[in-house]
Amino acid sequence: MKPLKPSLPPAFPGAWEGARSPRSGSGHRRVLSRSAVGAVAIMAGSMMGLGQAAAEPLSAPSFGGPLRPNPHPMSTDAGMFGRLHITGQLTGIGNAQTNGIPGVDPQTRDPLVDVGNAQIQVQTTGAPLTFFVQGGVYSLPALGSAYTRATDVTDQLYGPVPVAYGKLELSPNFSIQAGLLPTLIGAESTFTFQNMNIARGLLWNQEPAISRGVQVNYSNGPLNASVSVNDGFYSGNYNWVSGLLSYAATPSSTITLVAAGSFAESGKTGAATPLAQNNSSIFNVIYTYVNGPLTLQPYLQYTTVRSNRDIGIDRSAETFGGALLARYAIDENFSIAGRAEYIASSGGDCGVAADCAPTNLFYGPKSRAWSLTVTPTYQRGIFFARTELSYTRIDRVTEGYGFGSNFDKRDQVRGMFEAGVLF
């Protein structure tokens, strides 16, 4: 089936963070993951009993709404390093679906309750040299993919420290950062609390989520730009270049252009590193409109991968998709978010060639699918709860790549629930 893949930033918040994918885990790391849940819970309880600092906006992690970060995070003076801030998320998830796909744990096809996030962020601000470290356990649900439990996702993808980087302010306009960076690509971020919807969409599955690399940022008024050299889908080979250009044309509208891809082939493959996607190029056009309680974010995405039999890609293939993300704040506490998307793949088919392996980017060569998602949300202070209903339909599918235990079903209805605290 398709590679399990993690998420990314809305419009351009990712320009100031880093990317996404899974890797094989070990029993030792599973122990670390489960211990992290308890550690985060203890820290969250301790912090809620402490005095809170005055409000100070933090740029990371990015929040694409409707969820809002704690406006009064724990903060203290760090001397020459500026101010030290501690934030985090402790959330739970419920999931039920029709035509479930067998995953790492076959029982995830049945209704379940899981950890959504048990994460802590430690960061500094207000100094030329700052750092950001995010650690814990996380679930990365995505439409059209098998649900994987948080401990397995953490083990197989980015480990208990998924994001960590240092950032040097060279001038008021220039900065450079290096480490484990959120991706610049796409309109959805990696973790559930960052996004309008609980589960990531179909287009997200073609994008990296977290990459190791170096990134240069430039900002001047309405213009923001970032360029990164990184390892794409967490391959360990620094053969990707990503670029983002964002322009705020008016106070309510922003246009963002993204281009990324590998400049040298890599035969590396694994849970976090799907072979075809890791050798692809990706292009986005993202428009963001914000007017009072209404946010609209349509975007287009094109991906392409060239054939290279030396590394096991026998046929060229590509995808083209579009999506509309939207949210409306009914009042201070209630909001509703929605997503509609369509994606189609072409090429990749071997025809009658006997010595050829098809290139699959989706539900088999030349597959097509669409989805609809609605997510009502309630948040009061640092506490929130939201539900989600989604429908995914495969219009064209290769035999053996569909939904259900026999991979022969064309649609899936999924209901989700997420609740917790953003401290």
Q: 386-416: per-residue pLDDT in tens? A: 999 999 999 988 888 999 989 999 999 999 9
Q: Please compute Rg for the chain using Cα positions.
A: 20
Q: Are the beta carbons of 119 and 134 closer than 8 angstroms?
A: yes
Average pLDDT, the chain: 88
pLDDT at 52: 54
Q: Can you tell me which residue has the tokens 């974010």?
A: 297
Q: Are the beta carbons of 274 and 233 closer than 8 angstroms?
A: yes
* pLDDT tens digits, one per residue of 289-316: 999 999 999 999 999 999 999 999 999 9
Residue 2 has pLDDT above 60, yes or no: no
Q: How far apart (Å, rounded) are the C-alpha atoms in residues 7 and 201? A: 9
pLDDT at 204: 97
Beta-strand pair 368-380/334-347 = antiparallel
List C-alpha distances in Å: 61 to 87, 192, 283. Answer: 9, 12, 23
* pLDDT tens digits, one per residue of 13-72: 333 333 333 333 333 333 444 455 555 544 544 444 444 554 556 889 999 989 999 999
User: Is the model more confident about 140 or about 43?
Assistant: 140
Domains of the chain: 13-422 (2.40.160.10)
Overall residue count recorded for the chain in this entry: 423
| Main-chain phi, psi angles of 35, to 5 degrees | -65, -35
Q: DSSP letter at 400?
A: T
Q: How far apart (Å, rounded) are the C-alpha atoms in residues 145 and 5? A: 9
Residue 156 has pLDDT above 70, yes or no: yes
Confidence (pTM): 0.87
Q: How far apart (Å, rounded) are the C-alpha atoms in residues 13 and 62? A: 6
Q: Are the beta carbons of 193 and 136 closer than 8 angstroms?
A: no
* pLDDT tens digits, one per residue of 170-222: 999 999 999 999 999 999 999 999 999 999 999 999 999 999 999 999 999 99
